[in-house]
Amino acid sequence: FFLTQRIKYNYNNFKIKMKKKKISKIINLKFILIVALFVFLDQISKFFIRTNMYIGKSIPLFENVLHMTYVTNTGISFGMLKGNNFLFIIISIAVFIFFILNIKEFTDSKLGAAFIFSGIIGNVTDRIFLGSVVDFIDFRVFPIFNFADSFINIGVFLIVLSAIREYMKQKKKLLKTKS
């Protein structure tokens, strides 16, 4: 009797572990597909700009509101700290490794992490293969940027939002236990 109970327990425990492994594979595959899609969107847009425009050319999409303006950037997001391309390759790779090593911490905001990964990969790809980042989204009152820059900012926003939600949930839980 005890042996059959133990076998049933081990079998059920095995089934649960296998389901968890399948779920984690799906989540990981989904995460990788999202990152790949965003990187593809970033790189194809930059390829289109590089092959159809010359540096400095600007095409108004909505006159004096939104233009496509081809510029290159050796700085960070939105053209800040220009001329430090190699330094930003190193920093970007370090941030990417940090995220890989701490991916478990982003369980509440995997989408935010996917956006950040995509932005880092998109801009580092440009830095390594082109020597600078291709920027082209021009709102005329803001530095020119690209999809990868946007992805990084969206990712940071989602992670901060997730952290605020978690903080509020913990605060609510703490208040309930005190009363």
Q: Is 42 a catalytic residue?
A: no
Closest CA to 103 of 95, 111, 113, 93: 113
Identify the active-site residue in 42, 126, 138, 149.
149
Look up residue 95 and give its two tokens: 């941030």
Q: Which of 42, 126, 135, 138 is the catalytic position?
A: 135
Task: Please state, in angstroms and rounded to a whole number, the distance separating the CA atoms of residues 113 and 155.
Answer: 6
Beta bridge partners of 66: 62
Q: What sign for the dihedral angle of Cα 138, 139, 145, 149?
A: negative
Residue 149 designated active-site: yes
Whose tokens are 């926003």? That residue is: 157
Pick from 33, 53, 19: which is nearest to 135 by CA?
Answer: 53
Tokens at residue 81, please? 């700290």
Alpha helices in 53-146 (DSSP H): 85-101, 110-130
Give the Cα separation of 86 and 98 in Å (integer): 19
Active-site residue list: 135, 149
